[in-house]
Structure 1
Amino acid sequence: MNAPHDPGTTARLEAAFLWACEQDVVCAKPGNVSFASAGHGMSAELFVASARAACAPLTRRGAPVGTRIEAAIANTRAAAGCNTNLGIVLLCAPLAAAFEAPPPHVCPAPIQAAQSMQSVQRVLRALTVEDACAAYRAIALANPGGLGNAPSQSVGTTPTVDLRAAMALAADRDSIARQYAEDFCDVLGFGLATFRAAYLARAESRTPLADAVLLTWLRFLARWPDSHIVRKHGAACAQHVSNEAAAWLARGPDRLCAPRALDGWDAELKAAGLNPGTSADLTVATLFAAACMDPSLIAPTTAFLPETHS
C-alpha cells in the first residue's frame, strides 16, 4: 500500500517523532534515563542516537507497519547496540501510518482525537501476518528482558495470525499490546487528555512543557502498573511503584514539579533496578500524537532536528 511521496508529510511526522523522543530524555522521570540522570547501563545520548536512527524508517510514507518496526529496530541496534526504544517503535509505527493524512486546519481537540482514533482503527484492521512476522523479528533483535513464553503465538515462534491478533493475546499483561487490541484508546484518550490538561494548567510555570510531560508520565504510571516492571520484577513490585506514583501526584503539581523534588525517588528506583519504561513509552506515543495533531507544540530549536533524513 504505497502512497505518493509527500516530503511535507514526512517532515511533519519526523519532526513530531524526534520532538516526542527528545522530551522523553529532557524530562527527568524517576527510574527512567534522562539527560539529568543516566541509569540501567544507558545514557540519554543512546536514546538520542536511537531516535535519529529509527526516525526515517518509522515515518516512511506508505510503508507497512511491520516493515517500519523491523527497519527502525535494525537501525537502532546498529546505532545504539542495545534495546532503547522497542516500546516506542511498536507504539509509534501504527500512529505514524495513521497520521499520514494532513491534520485539519481547524478542529476542536475532542473531534481531532476521535478522528485520529478512527484512522488508527483503519490501520490496525489492515495489519497482516507479514506485519506480525516483521514485528516478531524486530522484538527478537531488540532482545528485551523478561518476555518469557506465551501459550500461543510466542515471540520465539513464527506467528500465524496478524499483528493485531497477536498483540491481543498479550493485552491483559502488556500495556503496549493493549493499545493494538483497544485502538490506542489509552494513548489517544487518557494520554492526550491528560497531557493537554497538564500543559494548560502549568502554562504559568517555569517549565510548562516539562511539567506536563512529567505529570502525564506519572498519571500513566499511577493508573496502570508498568508492564516492564511486571515482566522483570513481578506484579506486586509494579503495583508498589504505581502506588508511589499516586502518592506523589497527591502532593500536588507545585511540589512534585519543583526542581530536584524527585531525585531521591529516582535514585531509589535505579538502585533497585526498577525502570518504569512502558509508562515512558506510552508518554512518548502521547506526545507524538499530540505533535502530529498540533505541530505548533514543536520548538523550532529542538536539538534533534539538525540531522535530515532521505
Structure 2
Amino acid sequence: MPDTHAIPVERARAAFLEACALDVTTPKPGNVSTQSPGHGMHAAQFLASADASLDALFARGERVGQRILDAVTHTRAAVGCNTNLGIVLLVAPLAAALDDTGEPPVSAQAWRAAVGDVLSRLDVEDARLAYRAIALANPGGLGDAPEQSVHAPPTIGLRDAMRLASERDSIARQYANGFADLFDTGLAAYFEASRPTPEPAPADPGEIAMLNVFLTFLGGWPDSHIVRKHGRALAQSVTLVAREQHARWRQARPAARRSASDPQLDAWDAELKARAINPGTSADLAVATLFLARCVEGRG
C-alpha cells in the first residue's frame, strides 16, 4: 500500500530546509549569515545543522521530546556546537502536529489547533528527553532556573516546565501560549512582506519576508538570548534600535527594499557582532515562522 503521508512529510521537510537556508542567506543584524560570519560560527554550520536535524524532527509518530533529543544529538555530531537548539525546540511540536493535520498546505487555524493538542499531551518523559537535549546543547544560561532546572530530573510535564520559564524565555512562552507569537505576530509579518505591490518584485522575496519577520520579533520584546548573555537593560536597548531600524526600512522607497541587504542594517550588524551581541532567539522565532508560512502558503 502506498504511504499516503509521503508527500506531506516531504513538503514539510522542504519547507523546513528552505526556512533554515533563508536564516543564513538573509543578512540579519547580529546573526550569522553567508555574507557575515560571527560569534565563532559560520553559515555552513547552520546549513549542516538543518540537514542533520531533519529526519529526527519529522520522525512520524515520535514523541516531541524524542524528536528534540535526537535532533540535537545529530546536530552536535555534525557541527560540534549549538547552532539550532531554539529552532529544534520550536519546530518539534509544529512537526508533530502535522501528523494530525493531513497534507500541507494546511490552514493556520487547523495547524494551530493540532499544536494545542500536541502540547496538551506533553508529559514528564518529554520533559526528561528535552532536558537531556538542552544539557547536551549546553547553551549558556538556558535551563538554569530555581524550579525544574534542566540539571535535575523533571517532575512535571514539558509544557508545565516551559510555563515556569515563559516569563523569561520567548521560546518557552510558545509552549505556554500555544505558539501564539508565531501564528499571530510572525505570520502577519510574513504575509505583510509577501503582499504583491505595483513596484518591481524584490530580488528575493523570501529574504525580504525573513528580514521583516526577524525585525518584527527583535523590535517586539527583548531577545531572550541577549538577556541571558548581557542582561535585560542591554537587550531592551537593542529592541529599541530594532524598532527604529525596522520603521526606517519599511518606510524606505520600495526600490530600496528590493534586496534584504541594507547599508544601515549592515553597519548595525557589524556593531552587534563586534560587541558579541547575538539576537539568536529572534532568529529562531523567525525560522519557525517561515517554516509555518511555507507550509500554510498556497492553500487554495
Distance 1:278 1:70 in 2: 19
The 3-state SS of whatever aligns with 1:291 is helix
The 3-state SS of whatever aligns with 1:157 is coil
- Say if 1:28 and 1:252 are closer, same or farther in 2 by CA, change over 3 A: closer
Note the alpha carbon deviations across 1:124-169, whole angstroms, 9 max, x for none.
0011110000000000000001236311101111101000000000
Distance 1:96 1:220 in 2: 22
Tell me by how many angstroms 1:207 deviates: 2.6
Structure 1 moving runs of 4+ over 6 Å: none
The 3-state SS of whatever aligns with 1:273 is coil
Does the Cα contact within 8 Å between 2:12 and 2:104 map onto a contact in 1?
Answer: no
Distance 1:247 1:5 in 2: 48
Alignment of 1:157-196 (within 5 A): 157-196=152-191
Report what 1:301 is aligned to: none
Tell me by how many angstroms 1:260 deviates: 3.8
Note the alpha carbon deviations across 1:33-86, whole angstroms, 9 max, x for none.
010110000000000110000000101111100000000000000001000000
Mean Cα displacement is larger for which, 146-155 or 55-64? 146-155
Report what 1:25 is aligned to: 24
Amino acid paired to 2:158: L
Report what 2:33 is aligned to: 34
Report what 1:102 is aligned to: 102
Does the Cα contact within 8 Å between 2:12 and 2:295 map onto a contact in 1?
Answer: yes
Residue segments in structure 1 that go unaligned for 5+ positions in a row:
297-310
Report what 1:235 is aligned to: 232
Tell me by how many angstroms 1:184 deviates: 0.2
Mean Cα displacement is larger for which, 228-237 or 5-14? 5-14
Residue segments in structure 2 that go unaligned for 5+ positions in a row:
none
- Say if 1:290 and 1:148 are closer, same or farther in 2 by CA, change over 3 A: closer
Report what 2:244 is aligned to: 247
The 3-state SS of whatever aligns with 1:147 is coil
Note the alpha carbon deviations across 1:258-289, whole angstroms, 9 max, x for none.
53421110000000000000000000110111
Report what 2:49 is aligned to: 50
Distance 1:248 1:128 in 2: 41
Report what 2:282 is aligned to: 279
Q: TM-score, normalised by structure 1?
A: 0.88
- Say if 1:17 and 1:152 are closer, same or farther in 2 by CA, change over 3 A: same
Distance 2:143 2:157 in 1: 21
Mean Cα displacement is larger for which, 259-268 or 202-211? 202-211
Does the Cα contact within 8 Å between 1:99 and 1:292 map onto a contact in 2?
Answer: no
Report what 2:90 is aligned to: 91
Distance 1:160 1:139 in 2: 16
Distance 1:295 1:281 in 2: 23
Report what 1:288 is aligned to: 291
Report what 2:73 is aligned to: 74
1:123 corresponds, among 107, 118, 124, to 118
The 3-state SS of whatever aligns with 1:169 is helix
Distance 2:109 2:294 in 1: 16
Does the Cα contact within 8 Å between 1:12 and 1:295 map onto a contact in 2?
Answer: no
Distance 2:149 2:104 in 1: 40
Does the Cα contact within 8 Å between 2:8 and 2:103 map onto a contact in 1?
Answer: no
Tell me by how many angstroms 1:295 deviates: 6.5
